[in-house]
Amino acid sequence: MLAPKKTKFRKSHKLAPRGWASQKITVAFGDYGLQSLEGSWITSRQIESARRAITRFIQRGGKVWIRIFPDKPVTTHGNEAVMGSGKGSVDHYVAPVKAGTVLFEMNGVDEKAARRAFELAGHKLPVKTKFVKREIPSVK
């Protein structure tokens, strides 16, 4: 799974991603992208599951970019722990995603295959998603 090698702080505050994204909102690397329509936390397991769904459908053809990285630690206490005794230990990492963020990009496959691969990947994610294409600027 994806996890940071080193972090500045071991634990972080719980802040839910609100509003619309201002970064990672266009398809930058590939020709097609999968864009989030909601804000949520996406775990490293969900990212890996979606990546596997994409690569298996395109049968390892083309190239896939993952535009998000889980760098936010989420802590948990044991089930029967009493109140107090501080914050729990780090359990897993999540990527806070705002609405409008491009999650995955793909290149080297036809549009129909990319659309279907991203549809399969979208089922693995906790947010509503849509298929987007790279906007090619017109030359005058």
- Can you tell me which residue has the tokens 């979208």? 122
Confidence band (pLDDT; 50, 70, 90) for 139?
A: low
> How many CB atoms neighbour CB 117 within 10 A?
26
Whole-angstrom distance, CA of residue 85 vs CA of residue 82: 8
Which residue has tokens 């080297």?
A: 108
DSSP 3-state of 35: strand
- pTM to 2 decimal places: 0.91
Q: Which domains, ranges and CATH numbers included, belong to the chain? A: 32-76+89-133 (3.90.1170.10)
What are 64-100's pLDDT values in tens digits?
999 999 999 999 988 888 888 899 999 999 999 999 9
pLDDT band for position 61 (50/70/90)?
confident
pLDDT greater than 60 at residue 138: no
Cβ(83)–Cβ(124) below 8 Å: no
